[in-house]
Amino acid sequence: MISVNEAKNSILNSVQDFGVEEIPFLKSVGRILKEEIKADRDFPPFNRVAMDGIAINYSFFKNGQRNFKIEGIQAAGSTQLSMQNKENCIEVMTGAVLPKNTDTVIRYEDVVIENGIATITVDAIKEKQNVHPKGKDGKVNDILIAENKIISAAEIGVLATVGKATVKVAKLPKVMIVSTGDELVGVAEIPLAHQIRRSNVFTLVSLLERLQIPSETAHITDDKPVLKSKIKNYLQEYDVLLFSGAVSKGKFDFLPEVFEELGVEKLFHKVAQRPGKPFWFGSAASFCMREQNVYQNGKGNIKKNTIVFGFPGNPISTFVNCLAYFYPWYYKSVGLQIKEETAILNADVTFKPNLTYFLQVKLSDRFGHLIATPITGNGSGDLASLVNADAFIELPSDKTEFKKGEVFNIISYR
């Protein structure tokens, strides 16, 4: 049995490159940017009027002039006007190009207009005020967004501004999520007394959806030849297989054997943690016909690795292991920096086993402090307790007493 940190390291050493694809920019929210976004021109691209009002040549104001004859109107979206007489002014609109021969904008609130004459009613006018100078926010070819950033609404605005109608992003892995366990029936079915409905695969689908990763699901009966033949195909077809169940010590926990027989290299089985201990993790080098990242082998087939996460079947075990292992594996695979999040424990906790304890907590924000209050569940089968929590706090295995006020890493899922 290895430690949680050893398990994390093993997983982070098994990252995959799924390649890059180009997609319409408006579909790219939540995806990982795979190119540098540069300014295609200066920003702003011209001396930009920043207030509705009049534009003047400041030197005349400085010399005491207060009445300015209105020579015209510079609307946003019109070609630049040129003020013919420098003593005059031009009405200007926010977003317009500052007219030639003007340098300062006085907002309408500080002006009275009568009979074509604008009279400035305040004395506190600064030269070049209310003008957003060309290139102030950025010069052409400046890097506006670095590679490997998650695209959010903020980035969408920049992509639109620089004309990136399509954008390069990390390709998504092709994922199959498999449930096992003959006690499981479909969501729309009425279970018999000894049956329960499938739920873990749908939890996993939703956890992957948070990362924008679409996935497929399947259920395989607890029958070794059937498992073997189906998984053999999945190893050819998918970048990642996620399993829930059949990795523990039960008579029908065939997955570890099946993986071995199919040549999936076991990187570890069992991690010193609660819940989620019987976690199986491995990697298979498959030769297959599909076109995906990677290199050609001699026979014209394509070699790639399929990564296999065999999560224990208890709902909380599957849930926490997906967050604690699949998430960082995916983040590193697509080039994202993994950020650790911490919170302040809000109660004393005693946990004697020599295991890392992933304890469910409810998070709350108090004056800039993130407070983690333990939620008492009924063990790893108690799915409903996840609803009342927001995160897991990770209490390390080398201690048994954890005090209110101490700070630990958390994995939040909302």
- Does 105 participate in binding its own copies (rule CB under 8 A)? no
- Does 139 participate in binding its own copies (rule CB under 8 A)? no
Residues within window 47-86 making contact with its own copies, judged by CB under 8 A: 48, 50, 52-53, 73, 75-80
User: From the list 361, 389, 395, 411, which residue makes contact with its own copies (rule: CB under 8 A)?
Assistant: 389
CA gap 231, 262 in Å, rounded: 8
Residues within window 222-241 making contact with its own copies, judged by CB under 8 A: 222
- Does 165 participate in binding its own copies (rule CB under 8 A)? yes
- Does 44 participate in binding its own copies (rule CB under 8 A)? yes
Q: Which is nearer to its own copies, 84 or 364 (CB)?
A: 364
- Does 188 participate in binding its own copies (rule CB under 8 A)? yes
Across the strands, what pairs with 356? Answer: 273
- Is the CB of residue 279 less than 8 Å from the CB of residue 270? yes
Q: Which is nearer to its own copies, 207 or 324 (CB)?
A: 207
CA gap 35, 162 in Å, rounded: 13
Interacting span for its own copies (CB under 8 A) from 134-142, 169-177, 326-334, 395-403: 134-142
The residue among 346, 396, 347, 349 whose CA lies nearest residue 370 is 346
Q: Which is nearer to its own copies, 2 or 345 (CB)?
A: 345
Q: In what order do the strands lie in the sheet with 175-180?
A: 215-220, 175-180, 240-244, 302-311, 280-288, 265-269
User: From the list 1, 125, 156, 272, which residue makes contact with its own copies (rule: CB under 8 A)?
Assistant: 156
Binding mask 246-285 for its own copies (x = CB under 8 A): --xxxxxx--------------------------------
- Does 154 participate in binding its own copies (rule CB under 8 A)? yes
- Does 353 participate in binding its own copies (rule CB under 8 A)? no
CA gap 61, 63 in Å, rounded: 5
- Is the CB of residue 221 less than 8 Å from the CB of residue 254? no
Residues 6+ apart with CB under 8 A from 176: 215, 216, 217, 218, 234, 237, 238, 240, 241, 242
DSSP string across 112-142: EEETTEEEE--S---TTTTEE-TTSSB-TT-
Across the strands, what pairs with 107? Answer: 53
* Identity of the residue numbered 233: N
Interacting span for its own copies (CB under 8 A) from 10-18, 148-156, 259-267, 327-335: 148-156
Interacting span for its own copies (CB under 8 A) from 3-11, 117-125, 160-168, 295-303: 160-168
User: From the list 34, 168, 171, 198, which residue makes contact with its own copies (rule: CB under 8 A)?
Assistant: 198
Q: How far is the CB of 306 from its own copies (least distance, A)?
A: 24
Q: How far is the CB of 338 from its own copies (least distance, A)?
A: 13
Q: Which is nearer to its own copies, 105 or 284 (CB)?
A: 105
CA gap 91, 73 in Å, rounded: 5
How many positions of this chain bind its own copies (CB under 8 A)? 116
Element holding 281 (H helix, E strand): strand 280-288
The residue among 315, 343, 322 whose CA lies nearest residue 211 is 322
The residue among 390, 245, 397 whose CA lies nearest residue 309 is 245
Q: Which is nearer to its own copies, 59 or 119 (CB)?
A: 119
- Does 29 participate in binding its own copies (rule CB under 8 A)? yes
- Does 218 participate in binding its own copies (rule CB under 8 A)? no
- Does 336 participate in binding its own copies (rule CB under 8 A)? no
Q: How far is the CB of 262 from its own copies (least distance, A)?
A: 23
- Does 205 participate in binding its own copies (rule CB under 8 A)? yes
User: Residue 155: phi, psi to the nearest 5?
Assistant: -70, -35
Interacting span for its own copies (CB under 8 A) from 143-151, 255-263, 283-291, 297-305: 143-151
Q: How far is the CB of 209 from its own copies (least distance, A)?
A: 6
- Does 343 participate in binding its own copies (rule CB under 8 A)? yes
- Is the CB of residue 105 less than 8 Å from the CB of residue 53? yes
Q: Which is nearer to its own copies, 219 or 230 (CB)?
A: 219
Interstrand relation of 131-132 and 20-24 (parallel, antiparallel or unpaired): unpaired
User: From the list 63, 64, 126, 187, which residue makes contact with its own copies (rule: CB under 8 A)?
Assistant: 187
* Identity of the residue numbered 81: L
